[in-house]
Amino acid sequence: METIISSKTQTVIMGPNQPFTIIGERINPTGRKLLAAEMAAGDFSRVERDAIAQVQAGARILDVNAGIPLADEPAIMAQAVKTVMAVTDVPLSIDSSVIAALESGLQAYEGKALVNSVTGEDERLAAVLPLIKKYGAAVVAISNDETGISEDPDVRFAVAKKIVERAMDYGIPKEDVIIDPLVMPIGAVRYGGRQVFSILRRVQEELQVNTVCGASNISFGLPNRPVLNAAFLTMAIVSGLTSAITNPTAPELRQAMLAADVMMGNDENCLAWIDYDRRRKAAAQGDTAPTDRESRRRRRRERAR
């Protein structure tokens, strides 16, 4: 049940017995007018800053989206991927609803990418899955189809199962399909949390593949969102969630995910938690925070070159 995503120099392993995987969501111009304008004009300096900040905050994979209306999305995607690869060595998630942009990003990428995403519509499966096979990527599978997003968790699970089976028909290993159970706003769907927890348990037990979600969707429209997001993530991790597309720079979320790793036994000797707490205290005192283990490994690699 392990999914491997890699860059030229780093490998991330997702799985229920692995540390929780944070996929940084910030490189996305949707709802960010300034970022969208800069990317469309060929200015990727903010993309560079967002990439570095998210990795420093604990992101193990970075999601890269270039969806800008009336812009050349395939070209912008390729440049964004190259830009992020130049400033960090974490693996990337190529995020687009445009097939040409997905392929452009995959062509520019060096490593085994995660593709975000495919849904259960037959037409979409026929367009995306051949790309996944061609480039040896993994894919986020969103559990909705031609009928839309069902509030019935059994229906959403059936769509997830269909996508896994269809991917295997294309020769894609099922461990390279990561199910997104679709998180609904809890303010609008009273039992939206329970629905997700139920699907996560079934995916882990019956399909035996990994899972991901857009964690912040749960709190949409409600006040004090970081606290709600953190509570949701902790409960979802216990239910089987193995990764999330979220903002790693939000301290409430980072702490919740690290604490969940401790409680799930996925933080050996609690070293990541201790390291995070040490850096947090140093930052609060205005000192230069000690670098985390990944930063130390990167520096050792650079010295060895």
Number of H helices, E strands in the chain: 11, 9
Residues 284 and 228 in one domain: no
Nearest to 193 by CA among 158, 162, 238, 159: 238
Residues forming beta bridges with residue 116, ordered by sequence position: 95, 140
Residues 63 and 19 in one domain: yes
Q: What is the mean pLDDT of the chain?
A: 94
Residues 157 and 197 in one domain: yes
Residues 261 and 123 in one domain: yes
Cα 1 from Cα 16, distance rounded (Å): 8
Residues 260 and 276 in one domain: no
Residues 123 and 142 in one domain: yes
CATH number of domain containing 74: 3.20.20.20
Render pLDDT for 286-303 as a digit per residue (tens, 0 to 9): 865 444 555 545 444 444
Bridge-based pairing of strands 3-6 and 21-27 is unpaired
192 within 8 A of 185, measured Cβ to Cβ: yes
Tell me: pLDDT of 33 over 60: yes
Cα 269 from Cα 266, distance rounded (Å): 9
Q: Please, where are the H alpha helices in 119-191? A: 122-135, 153-169
Residues 185 and 293 in one domain: no
Average pLDDT over residues 127-146: 98
State phi, psi for 77 to the nearest 5 degrees.
-60, -45
Residues 295 and 159 in one domain: no
Residues 92 and 172 in one domain: yes
Helices 99-108 and 122-135: crossing angle, nearest 10°? 10
Residue 297 CB contacts under 8 Å (≥ 6 apart), including other chains: none
Q: Give the H or E element holding residue 272.
A: helix 271-284
Residues 122 and 228 in one domain: yes
The pTM assigned to this predicted structure is 0.92
Residues 260 and 302 in one domain: no
Residues 44 and 185 in one domain: yes
Count of Cβ atoms closer than 10 Å to residue 172 Cβ: 20
* Cα–Cα separations (whole angstroms), residue 242 to 19, 148, 151, 165, 198: 8, 25, 22, 20, 15
Render pLDDT for 197-235 as a digit per residue (tens, 0 to 9): 999 999 999 999 999 999 999 999 999 999 999 999 999
Cα 289 from Cα 261, distance rounded (Å): 22
Domain count, the chain: 2
- What domain range is 295 assigned to? 270-305
Render pLDDT for 240-260 as a digit per residue (tens, 0 to 9): 999 999 999 999 999 999 999
Looking at residue 297, its pLDDT comes to: 52
Tell me: pLDDT of 90 over 70: yes
